[in-house]
Amino acid sequence: MKYHSIDSGLFVSNRVKFAAQMQSSALAVFNSNDVFSTGADSTLPFHQHRNIFYLSGVDQEESVLILFPDAKNSKHKEILFLKETNEHIAIWEGSKLSKKQATEVSGVQTVYWLSDFDSIFDILMKEAEIVYFNNNNHYRKAVEMETREDRFIKHVKSNYPKHRIENNFCIMESLRGVKEPQEIELIRKACNITEKGFRRVLGFVEPGVMEYEIEAEYAHEFLKNRSKGFAYTPIIGSGYNACVLHYIANNQRCNDGDMLLMDVGAEYANYSSDMTRTIPVNGRFTARQKAVYQAVLNVKNEATKMLVSGTLWEAYHKEVGKIMTSELLDLGLLDKAAVQNQNPKEPAYKKYFMHGTSHHMGLDTHDYGALKTPMVENMVFTVEPGIYIPQEKMGIRLEDDVVVQSSGAPINLMKDVPIEIDEIEFLMNA
């Protein structure tokens, strides 16, 4: 791994929190993600399943974690199963974790090779009555293939039909939504790497540059700073492309007079950052671009103030909508009649600002986290309003990552990333 080692105390603490919410006589199983083939003998880079990483810190394929607080054998309360290395693997892929190394990384004292899994799992299932599966019920989930977890669930249901099945999502959602201080520092590190990428790009962008060249500048800076790269597929859209919310082709020329929207973020140690900045390709805002940009920045600043302990998700978005409506009226994009006659289920502002303002972030860019209960300290949210005007070939979005506090303003993890109009123009023309 490129990142520095993480204190295993984080993962020990996370397992204690998870085990505290398990029912009696229950065990929980967490599988690594698959390694995905691209054809012939090629595979995609491995990405660890976020839940097993959250609970163990193990960043290796074909790993399994079992938590069984009520196990009769105290050695079996926490177990890691790992792929055993050999000379062939060591030469062709590099050696895998040893049992000692796995304990150092995770704090799990009992480590077996994966070849022992079936026999030990059978012993444990004779003691257990309930099995927690590692399911994904995220409100934005996108599952288009059978996963390693899916295959395991089928196997257990077929071979142990009398056991009661529980899904772990509710537990993981509540735990992962509130970050430990160590996690916040890892996210901060990812944000700092993203800042370096943005500052690099400010000195690079000029009329005629290609969107993919800008993407390459970010990738260079991210990898240089121990990141695997982008936390998500980058959006680098100039002119009209900035009005396409999930534009990822990044293959067009940036023209003089265009605004350039860049929604990018570095990952660090599997933790995400999520930043959006919009800049003038030629380094100078027009009067109209300044007005729209400042309106978005005003909304972002006001929305950020509301991300405090006790805020309700739905009410927050309604209030942001009111602020955005006021700004759109001032810009002349909406008139009072349109607002007075709007459909409450589809407010007038949605014509120019059609997405949400904030989402949880952490190990996933759109991370697990409660949405129907009040916000609490150490939740991490994005705040990302935007105004999109296709007829003017202009889209502007601004996004920071902030930490909710028990009292007072949230902590902006991107406070040092340039965002004010004067600073951006200064840096682009320095």
Bridge-based pairing of strands 130-133 and 26-31 is parallel
CA-nearest of 270, 261, 267 to 296 is 261
Q: Which two tokens stand for residue 381?
A: 């949210």
Mind listing the pLDDT tens digit of every residue in the chain (430 residues)? Answer: 889 999 999 999 999 999 999 999 999 999 999 887 888 878 888 899 999 999 999 999 999 999 999 999 999 999 999 998 877 777 777 788 999 999 999 999 999 999 999 999 999 999 999 999 988 777 777 777 788 888 999 999 999 999 999 999 999 999 999 999 999 999 999 999 999 999 999 999 999 999 999 999 999 999 999 999 999 999 999 999 999 999 999 999 999 999 999 999 999 999 999 999 999 999 999 999 999 999 999 999 999 999 999 999 999 999 999 999 999 999 999 999 999 999 888 999 999 999 999 999 999 999 999 999 999 999 999 999 999 999 999 999 999 999 999 988 999 999 999 999 999 999 999 8
Q: How many residues does the chain have?
A: 430
Q: Which two tokens stand for residue 89?
A: 């693997």
Bridge-based pairing of strands 259-264 and 235-238 is antiparallel
The whole-angstrom separation of Cα 314 and Cα 343 is 17
Q: Domains of the chain: which residue ranges?
A: 9-176, 181-428
CA angle 340–344–345, rounded 5-degree value:
145
Q: How many CB atoms lie within 10 A of CB 143?
A: 9
Q: Which residues contact 156 (CB under 8 A, 6 or more apart)?
A: 29, 131, 133, 163
What is the fold, at CATH topology level, of the domain defined by 9-176?
Creatine Amidinohydrolase; Chain A, domain 1 (3.40.350)
pLDDT the model gives residue 39: 80
The whole-angstrom separation of Cα 223 and Cα 217 is 10
Q: Which amino acid is located at 346 in the chain?
A: E
Answer yes or no: are the C-beta atoms of 68 and 128 closer than 8 Å.
yes
Domain 181-428 has CATH 1.20.120.80: no
3-state secondary structure 14-47: HHHHHHHCCCCCEEEEEECCCCCEEECCEECCCC
3-state secondary structure the chain: CCCCCCCCHHHHHHHHHHHHCCCCCEEEEEECCCCCEEECCEECCCCCCHHHHHHHCCCCCCCEEEECCCCCCHHHCEEEEECCCCHHHHHHCCCCCCHHHHHHHHCCCEEEEHHHHHHHHHHHHHHCCEEEECCCCCCCCCCCCCCHHHHHHHHHHHHCCCCEEEECHHHHHHHHCCCCHHHHHHHHHHHHHHHHHHHHHHCCCCCCCEHHHHHHHHHHHHHHCCCCCECCCCEEEEHHHHHCCCCCCCCCECCCCCEEEEEECEEECCEECCEEEEEECCCCCCHHHHHHHHHHHHHHHHHHHHCCCCCCHHHHHHHHHHHHHHHHHHHCCCCHHHHHCCECCECHHHHCCCCCCCCECCCCCCCCCCCCCCCCCCCEEEECCEEEEHHHCEEEECEEEEECCCCCCCEECCCCCCCCHHHHHHHHCC
pLDDT the model gives residue 92: 79
Question: What pTM value is reported for the model?
Answer: 0.95
CA-nearest of 110, 101, 103, 37 to 68 is 110
Q: How many CB atoms lie within 10 A of CB 105?
A: 20
Answer yes or no: are the C-beta atoms of 201 and 240 closer than 8 Å.
no
Answer yes or no: are the C-beta atoms of 117 and 124 closer than 8 Å.
no
CA-nearest of 198, 71, 181, 192 to 126 is 71
CA-nearest of 255, 328, 297 to 417 is 297
CA-nearest of 353, 206, 213, 182 to 282 is 206
pLDDT the model gives residue 336: 94
pLDDT the model gives residue 53: 97
Q: How many CB atoms lie within 10 A of CB 307?
A: 23
